[in-house]
């Protein structure tokens, strides 16, 4: 595949309008680097189609010109999957931001792939319905990008990840065929599930243009608590107790003192508890009726009253969440982090953390390792600060240690370019061969997001 010939820009302008083909480096810059600043490269063009038919025409032109295409939603991904490596056309889905009415008979709605999670949440407010996936990138991340990465977030323990919310999809394949399964029929076993195949395919198999999303009933009564504990084993014991005693459990998040201190400094926040703790657990319960008694009952006997703060109104709940959600920003402010998003079987989480810091230091003596994550899912975000962006010795150490403990090298952010060469740590040769065969079948010219997800072949 080649970089864009000048004729292609004209051809694409004929499809989407000249205003939506960007070539000026000042205008393309925001599409070329990811949020961490670790990944990216120059795009030959950025093209912003307005619908599935335009996406199909853009793809046809790029396939004919043999120019690779990088689909991009909100560019909030953390593994370099949505940014160019050099010379690709960035296909931005941002203009496909429609939000349809709630289909109350089905508890579903239709959205454009470029609508953000935050816009969907505001759209649903007051409707009695809610969306089952939520995370800290909500104002940037698009629903199409979230489906393409099978995003997770804070409520997976209750509602599952993005895959569980996708009831239908419209997508454009490299052949320019548009597949459309948007009726919302709840059961549909008519052969292979192509929308399901595209969930988590990171823009390598097709471009998602619209989604039919499943909704969950809004739970108006929510309480949030932040508890301090002495170590991760105590945090896991608390999780065990919460799971059994609090059916309204909605989120269980984890962070450590070192990450909290960065957040406190960055956002100028007070210390959340009267004394410092090595480990913090953020807990949320949501129900139709006030779940405070249920939460208090579950915490009783495990966490002493002085070691926990509870919030029931929106402002104080948000204030507690800020300690967790500002981690990404506070760590980015310290330098360019290596972000490893891994999932451990819960029984292996503490043994993994026992070894983690020493293993990273062995690989990169300058490294500072900050860990936080979604405790309820065994999902840790391991952030390594210090090594140069191109030095991935620490990345390899973390991913190998994860595999040794039976974990997955990607819990929710995907593989992108960041982890492509370590895919074999989580997938066997047979599985990788099938993935490569599917890629060849759907994208024989290798135009869709090359170099992402699958390991390099040479």
Ligand X SMILES: Cc1cc2nc3c(=O)[nH]c(=O)nc-3n(C[C@H](O)[C@H](O)[C@H](O)COP(=O)(O)OP(=O)(O)OC[C@H]3O[C@@H](n4cnc5c(N)ncnc54)[C@H](O)[C@@H]3O)c2cc1C
Q: Which residues bind ligand X (CB under 6 A)?
A: 35, 70-78, 81-82, 93, 113, 135-137, 140-142, 144-146, 148-149, 151-153, 202-203, 207-208, 328, 412-413, 416, 449, 452
Minimum distance between the CB of residue 149 and ligand X, rounded to whole angstroms? 4
At residue 59, the 3 state secondary structure works out as helix
Length of the chain (residues) = 458
Which is closer to ligand X, CB of 234 or CB of 254? 254
At residue 226, the 3 state secondary structure works out as strand
- Output the CA torsion 350→353→359→361 (10° steps): -150
Give residue number: closest CB to ligand X.
145
Minimum distance between the CB of residue 136 and ligand X, rounded to whole angstroms? 4
At residue 177, the 3 state secondary structure works out as coil
At residue 10, the 3 state secondary structure works out as helix
At residue 26, the 3 state secondary structure works out as helix
Minimum distance between the CB of residue 34 and ligand X, rounded to whole angstroms? 7
Listed residue (360, 362, 370) closest to 334, CA to CA: 370
Which is closer to ligand X, CB of 405 or CB of 413? 413
- Residue 160: how many other CB atoms lie within 10 Å: 14
What's the count of helices (H) and strands (E) in the chain, helices before strands? 16, 17
Radius of gyration of the chain (CA): 22
Which is closer to ligand X, CB of 167 or CB of 310? 167
Minimum distance between the CB of residue 91 and ligand X, rounded to whole angstroms? 8
Q: Are 76 and 145 in contact (CB under 8 A)?
A: yes
Minimum distance between the CB of residue 201 and ligand X, rounded to whole angstroms? 7
Separation of alpha carbons 144 and 154, rounded Å: 19
Name the DSSP letter for residue 33: B
Which is closer to ligand X, CB of 108 or CB of 150? 150
Which is closer to ligand X, CB of 76 or CB of 369? 76
Minimum distance between the CB of residue 229 and ligand X, rounded to whole angstroms? 22
Minimum distance between the CB of residue 320 and ligand X, rounded to whole angstroms? 16
Q: Are 228 and 275 in contact (CB under 8 A)?
A: yes
Q: Who's near 50: CB < 8 A, 6+ residues apart?
A: 16, 20, 95, 96
Which is closer to ligand X, CB of 100 or CB of 351? 100
Which is closer to ligand X, CB of 173 or CB of 208? 208
Minimum distance between the CB of residue 70 and ligand X, rounded to whole angstroms? 6
Which is closer to ligand X, CB of 303 or CB of 326? 326
The CA–CA distances, whole Å, from 245 to 217, 237, 280 equal 22, 12, 20
Residue 307: both structure tokens together: 């070691």
């Amino acid at each position: 595949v080649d970089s864009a010939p000048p004729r292609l820009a004209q051809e694409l302008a004929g499809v989407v309008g000249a205003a939506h083909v960007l070539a000026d480096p000042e205008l393309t810059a925001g599409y070329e680097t990811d949020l961490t600043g670790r990944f990216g490269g120059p795009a030959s063009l950025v093209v912003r189609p307005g619908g599935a038919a335009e996406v199909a025409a853009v793809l046809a032109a790029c396939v004919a010109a043999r120019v690779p295409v990088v689909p991009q939603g909100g560019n909030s991904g953390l593994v370099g999957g949505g940014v160019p490596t050099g010379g690709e056309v960035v296909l931005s889905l941002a203009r496909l931001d429609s939000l349809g009415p709630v289909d109350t008979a089905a508890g579903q709605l239709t959205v454009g792939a470029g609508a953000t999670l935050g816009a969907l949440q505001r759209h649903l407010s007051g409707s009695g319905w809610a969306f089952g996936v939520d995370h800290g990138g909500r104002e940037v991340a698009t629903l199409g990008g979230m489906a393409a990465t099978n995003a997770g977030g804070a409520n997976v323990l209750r509602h599952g990840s993005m895959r569980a919310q996708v009831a239908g999809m419209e997508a454009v394949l490299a052949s320019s065929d548009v597949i459309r399964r948007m009726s919302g029929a709840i059961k549909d076993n008519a052969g292979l599930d192509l929308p399901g195949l595209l969930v988590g395919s990171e823009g390598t198999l097709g471009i998602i243009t619209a989604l039919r999303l499943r909704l969950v009933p809004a739970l108006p009564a929510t309480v949030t608590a932040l508890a301090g504990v002495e170590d991760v084993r105590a945090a896991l014991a608390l999780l065990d107790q919460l799971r059994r005693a609090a059916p309204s459990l909605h989120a269980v998040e984890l962070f450590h003192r070192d990450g909290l201190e960065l957040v406190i400094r960055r956002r100028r926040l007070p210390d959340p508890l009267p004394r410092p703790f090595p480990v913090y657990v953020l807990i949320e319960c949501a129900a139709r009726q006030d779940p405070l008694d249920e939460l208090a009952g579950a915490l009783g006997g495990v966490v002493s009253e002085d070691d926990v703060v509870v919030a029931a109104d929106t402002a104080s709940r948000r204030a507690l969440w800020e300690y967790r959600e500002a981690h990404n920003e506070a760590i980015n402010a310290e330098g360019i982090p290596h972000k490893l998003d891994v999932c451990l079987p819960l029984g292996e989480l503490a043994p993994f953390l026992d070894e983690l810091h020493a293993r990273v230091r062995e690989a990169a003596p300058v490294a500072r390792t900050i860990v936080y994550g979604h405790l309820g899912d065994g999902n840790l975000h391991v952030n390594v600060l210090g090594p140069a962006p191109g030095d991935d010795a620490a990345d390899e150490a973390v991913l190998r240690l994860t595999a040794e403990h039976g974990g997955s090298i990607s819990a929710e952010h995907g593989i992108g370019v960041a982890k492509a060469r370590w895919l074999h740590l989580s997938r066997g040769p047979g599985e990788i061969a099938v993935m490569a065969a599917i890629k060849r079948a759907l994208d024989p010219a290798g135009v869709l997001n090359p170099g992402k997800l699958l390991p390099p072949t040479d």
